Amino acid sequence: MAISPVVVVDDLSVTYDDFPAVKSLSLQVERGEFYALLGTNGAGKTSTLEVMEGHRQPSSGSVRIFGESPTNRREVRPRTGIMLQESGFSPDLSVRESVGLIGSLSGRRDDVARVLDISGLAHRAATRVSQLSGGEKRRLDFATAVYGGPELVILDEPTTGLDIQSRDALWDAVDRLRDRGSTIVLTTHYLEEAQQRADRIGIMHQGTLREEGTVAELTQALPSVISFSLPPGIPEPPIDTVRVGGGFHVETFALQKDLYLLLAWAEDAGVELQDLQAAPTRLDDVFRVISHD
């Protein structure tokens, strides 16, 4: 029997007054998959996630989570952990009490001390929420989302405002959830996080999904770049170059072959290639092309 996708977004539109924020968006996230939804500011990512979370009604189209409407809280909530961009905690509760309370409302079970530990909040367990720093509040958001190891975890810009150690700790915790089979939906403006971790990436711009695929699929349409400088008086190498500033760029779909040609020429001519760099196409490059208009 085929396993149905965990998230199905079908022809979704979200309109605010007359403004179309999400336009006919369709995507699916399979069980165990890590899906990153990327896009420019205002592309419609949060609006899409809010419908997935059951916090917003679609203007048209539909979203199904585990085959159910996201507003069917009894079915969906115990299986879904959500880290919003902003969430409301009672300022007078301690961190331990907040995780225990919100965790138990999810209908899942867990050991509060364990959750505090993986979220980097063990040393703040007795601190009141009102006394947490911005980064510590993000960790608390994360703690409540991963409480009980939900089957689906939705993370809306989870690492914004976190220092590098906290980011590493957060991704370690997400890796452990994935090892146990959880499905992850992420939005982030840190493209390298998506490039390193996501199985598939969707790139939104102005309300529509412009591209979708693995990192390899998304980057293959754009060339890799070799860049270098030459000492004065040296003739140009026998491959197509573009002058950029004081140096040269080679745009290529055959990185290994062209790099070899360049290095062989430099070796034969006794030329030192200065500032040599050979970079495969990055997600940033794809993102820039898509979000140009």
Ligand X SMILES: Nc1ncnc2c1ncn2[C@@H]1O[C@H](COP(=O)(O)OP(=O)(O)OP(=O)(O)O)[C@@H](O)[C@H]1O
Q: Which is nearer to ligand X, 134 or 232 (CB)?
A: 134
Residues between 2 and 31 with contacts to ligand X, criterion CB under 6 A: 16, 19, 21
Smallest distance, ligand X to C-beta of residue 141, A: 15
- Estimate to the nearest angstrom the gap between the alpha carbon of 137 and the chain centroid: 20
Binding-site size, ligand X (CB under 6 A):
11
- The CA–CA distances, whole Å, from 230 to 144, 267, 277, 283 equal 55, 13, 13, 29
Q: Which is nearer to ligand X, 25 or 152 (CB)?
A: 25
Smallest distance, ligand X to C-beta of residue 39, A: 5
Largest separation between any pair of C-alpha atoms in the chain: 74
DSSP state of 211: E
**Half-sphere CA count of 15, side-chain side, radius 13 A:** 10
DSSP letter for each residue of 44-56 = SHHHHHHHHTTSS
Contact 280, 215 (CB under 8 A): no
Of 23, 34, 38, 44, which lies in the binding site for ligand X, with binding defined by CB under 6 A?
Answer: 44
C-alpha span between 164 and 10 (Å, rounded):
36
DSSP letter for each residue of 239-252 = S--EEETTEEEEEE
Smallest distance, ligand X to C-beta of residue 46, A: 3
Contact 30, 184 (CB under 8 A): no
Q: Which is nearer to ligand X, 188 or 227 (CB)?
A: 188
Of 4, 11, 26, 42, which lies in the binding site for ligand X, with binding defined by CB under 6 A?
Answer: 42
Stretch that binds ligand X, among 23-31, 44-52, 94-102, 169-177 (CB under 6 A): 44-52
Of 2, 18, 41, 231, which lies in the binding site for ligand X, with binding defined by CB under 6 A?
Answer: 41
Stretch that binds ligand X, among 40-48, 130-138, 172-180, 223-231 (CB under 6 A): 40-48
Of 43, 95, 143, 194, which lies in the binding site for ligand X, with binding defined by CB under 6 A?
Answer: 43
Contact 226, 277 (CB under 8 A): yes
Stretch that binds ligand X, among 39-47, 160-168, 221-229, 246-254 (CB under 6 A): 39-47
Q: Given the rule CB under 6 A, which residues bind ligand X?
A: 16, 19, 21, 39, 41-47
